[in-house]
Amino acid sequence: MSLEATAINLAIGGRAILIDASVRVDTGRVIGLLGPNGAGKSTLLRSLAGLEPSVAGKRTLDGVTAPPRANREWACRVAYLPQTGDLSWPVTVREVVTLGRLPHHAGPWGSQSAQDRAIVDLAMKHADVTLLANRPADALSGGERARVMLARALATEADYLLADEPIAGLDPGHQLQVMELLRARAGAGMGLLVVLHDLTLACRYCDMVVLLQAGRVVAQGRPLEVLNPDNLANVFGVRVLAANTPDGPIRVPVARLPEDVR
Ligand code: ADP
Ligand code: MG
């Protein structure tokens, strides 16, 4: 079972944003999508999610050609967590998380079933926002907001989750907590594609990583193989401290490299 995009090409205003980019998300796996700012990570995620209308290429969901645009049925199976979640409405956190159930309900959005409520409770528990349930969603810290958006995506109970920088802005404890939560979802059978910038967390929590540079996939495979010093120098222009610790591998950027040695 997999969600797959093959040979994705996308140009905006005559400029190539994605060039023959392919990515595959298997169920039960966490795939990390890494690359510099502007490399096209969010655009690739949106393309895979069926949210980029002018994309060329092939997308399949469990071997079946995907609809060109995300529809209700698709949204039940593929959840998308955008990079910046705006939560400036005067509603409670619980109401925001309940929106994750929306694709499952045809017709007008009426009262939720006991099952919907139980799923929303579980999603809030998984994202550690249960204590925020009755708080107004427009009065949260950045980290709290990020976890609420994640809870909303989890409430869909989709088979695949495409998460764009879900740990950006979180404190270290919550970064680890969210990565553990994403791993647990994979353990429960979900397939996850996660954009992130933390090299150490990518090594620890991802089964595979895809490295994107200027719209092209330049490397993919096991994290420790892909996130090697040469690739990190070429793609990010940095030298990393690479070490193994009792808690697992670490990759810490320590210096910017001059242009001529990248
Ligand atoms: P990343 O998520 O890796 O930082 P993005 O996918 O957001 O990168 O953007 C990739 C490139 O596409 C950037 O150069 C960005 O400026 C450009 N881009 C993204 N969306 C648009 C748009 N709607 N119009 C014009 N350019 C865009
Ligand atoms: Mg982005």
Q: What pLDDT, in 10s, does the model give residues 148-207?
A: 999 999 999 999 999 999 999 889 998 998 999 999 999 999 999 999 999 999 999 999
Ligand 1 atom having least distance to the Cα of 36 = 3
The mean of the pLDDT values for the chain is 93
Report the nearest-CA residue for atom 16 of ligand 1.
38
Residues 6+ apart with CB under 8 A from 71: 50
Give the ligand 1 atom nearest the CA of 215. Answer: 10
Residue 194's DSSP bridge partners are 32, 163
Question: Which residue's C-alpha comes closest to atom 7 of ligand 1?
Answer: 42
DSSP E strand stretches across 62-185: 64-65, 78-81, 160-164
Domains of the chain: 2-261 (3.40.50.300)
- Closest residue by Cα to atom 20, ligand 1, is 43
Q: Indicate the pLDDT class of residue 85, thresholds 50, 70 and 90.
A: low
Helix/strand/coil for 201 = helix
Q: Ligand 1 within 6 A of 38 CB?
A: yes
Spacing, Cα 8 to ligand 1 middle (Å): 15
pLDDT digits 0-9 by tens, 108-133: 666 788 899 999 999 999 899 999 99
Query: Cα(233)–Cα(242) distance, rounded to whole angstroms?
Result: 13
Nearest alpha carbon, ligand 1 atom 12 = 17
Residue 143 or 232, more confident: 232
Burial 7-22 (b: 16+ CB within 10 A, else e): ebbbeeeeeebbeebe
pTM tops 0.85: yes
